[in-house]
Amino acid sequence: MSADKNPTRRSGDDLTLRRLVDRYGSPLYVYDLARVRTALEDLRASLPQPARIYYSLKANAHPCLVAELRRGGARAEVTSRGELAVALQAGHPAAELMYSGPGKVPAEIDEAIAAGLRTFSAESFGDLERIGAAADARGVTADCVLRINAAGAPGQAGPWTTGGPYRFGFDLDELAEHGARLLVKGVRIIGTHFVPLSNAGNEDVLLAELAQGVRTAARLRDELGIPLHLLDLGGGFAAPYATPGERPVYPGLRRALCAVLDEHLPGWRHGEPVVAFESGRHLVGDSGRLVVTVTDVRNSRGTTYAVLDAGVNHLGGLPGPGRLLPLAAQPLTALDRAADDTGDTGAADPSFVTLAGPLCTPADVRSRAVDLPGARPGDLLVLPNVGAYGLSASLPGFLGHPAPVEVVVDGGETVSATRLTLSRRIAEPRIAEPRT
């Protein structure tokens, strides 16, 4: 008897997932709050103390995850009205939130200020002016950190490279030349903000970038007089995505970074400046799994396709349809197969299959050559490490399949099961009718 068919060898974890699918259907996202707590503790242990950690809601704005991170002491970084609303509902005091992102429009800035939010990351002179105008109109002052597009340290890679033309943040030379434009009514500049890279699995690369942020902030303060009460060094803490593996740890980061801070900004230990970091994927990535069902297995000219009930509408829309994920699907141990294992699936017995979603577009191929011997319709597969940039970064409006149920568990206990819906409503006119 193979391990596959022996019920006593099935892990309790697989059983739990199977029960949840029986109950709520497939596809199904399952997030574990216990893992979120552990990730936050691990990250805190890797960082200098004292330091603030902002959770970037962009990675996953599920209210239960946001609330759990708040309970763990993280603040929240929001970039839209929707994320602002979730953060407030999760119990974050508005005054402790950071609002960032390029292209903030006056209406959303005003809404944030009206809610009591006071800290913004400003991306450009225009952004600064719009923040100032909105604050001034409400008779308050907005605290702004300037997002800096600084020349990066060598060795970085990926879409977050800085130094060249870039949509995000102030260029250093523009700050040097047009410093007077930083004097904006309604704005108090309180520091600088760096987002040098993303998903850095390599500790040396990460350290080099964060250290560069510290040095640049000190230089901007000393040479251009840019205030430095809050230094947001961004992050770049990595996590595996839709593939098995462990969240990286950064055992040497704390010590090395403390030394850099001590050298350039000795006041940091008593909060001058306050040092802050941001993280999305590292905090929630490994908390989430997606269970999917194989709906069809077919062979075309030597390639075996396993069609799943979830595609770019439910996972991995962010890189864009047509981009393959380094996806790895693990079969849920299949007890039900034991009895009917001679069944004819109508397909060649595949070992390597191409995973595809159910959407009517060639762009919904998810992954090639996944090792899934004997895949057949009805099999449940688990896609690990999809707690970040999963459903919220996908294309749920495309083709109109219902969104997967999202179940939140805490250890063994189910704390929430919800389904996101898109619904059409009558639009309110932008210009309100005068009230009588």
State the nearest-atom distance from the C-beta of 54 to ligand PLP, in Å: 8
Residue 407: other Cβ atoms inside 10 A:
23
Q: Does 280 bind ligand PLP (CB under 6 A)?
A: yes
Residues between 184 and 203 with contacts to ligand PLP, criterion CB under 6 A: 195, 198-199
Q: Which of 26, 9, 29 is nearest to 380 (CA)?
A: 26
Instruction: Tell which one of 58, 70, 118, 264 touches ligand PLP (CB under 6 A).
Output: 58
Phi, psi of 9 (to 5 degrees): -90, -5
In terms of CB distance, is 26 or 79 closer to ligand PLP? 79
Q: Among the residues of 122-184, which ranges form H helices? A: 125-137, 172-177
Q: Does 278 bind ligand PLP (CB under 6 A)?
A: yes
Instruction: Tell which one of 18, 35, 118, 281 touches ligand PLP (CB under 6 A).
Output: 281
Residues between 396 and 435 with contacts to ligand PLP, criterion CB under 6 A: none
Q: Does 240 bind ligand PLP (CB under 6 A)?
A: no
Q: Quick one: which H or E segment has residue 436?
A: none
Instruction: Tell which one of 26, 60, 100, 313 touches ligand PLP (CB under 6 A).
Output: 100
Residue 183: other Cβ atoms inside 10 A:
10
State the nearest-atom distance from the C-beta of 13 to ligand PLP, in Å: 26
For 12-38, letters b (16+ CB in 10 Å) and e give: eebebbbebbeebebbbbbbbbebbbb
**Residues 134, 143, 253: CA angle, nearest 5 degrees:** 140
Side-chain-facing half-sphere of 175: CA atoms under 13 Å: 25
Q: Does 350 bind ligand PLP (CB under 6 A)?
A: no
Question: Looking at 33-41, 256-264, 280-288, 428-436, which segment touches ligand PLP (CB under 6 A)?
Answer: 280-288
Q: Does 309 bind ligand PLP (CB under 6 A)?
A: no
State the nearest-atom distance from the C-beta of 128 to ligand PLP, in Å: 16
Instruction: Tell which one of 26, 56, 162, 212 touches ligand PLP (CB under 6 A).
Output: 56
Cis status, amide bond into 50, omega within 30 of 0: yes
Q: Does 392 bind ligand PLP (CB under 6 A)?
A: no
Q: Which two tokens stand for residue 181?
A: 């434009």
Strand-pair category, 288-300 with 303-308 = antiparallel
Question: Looking at 230-238, 263-271, 325-333, 404-412, which segment touches ligand PLP (CB under 6 A)?
Answer: 230-238
* Residues making contact with ligand PLP (CB under 6 A): 56, 58-59, 100, 195, 198-199, 234-235, 237, 278-282, 388
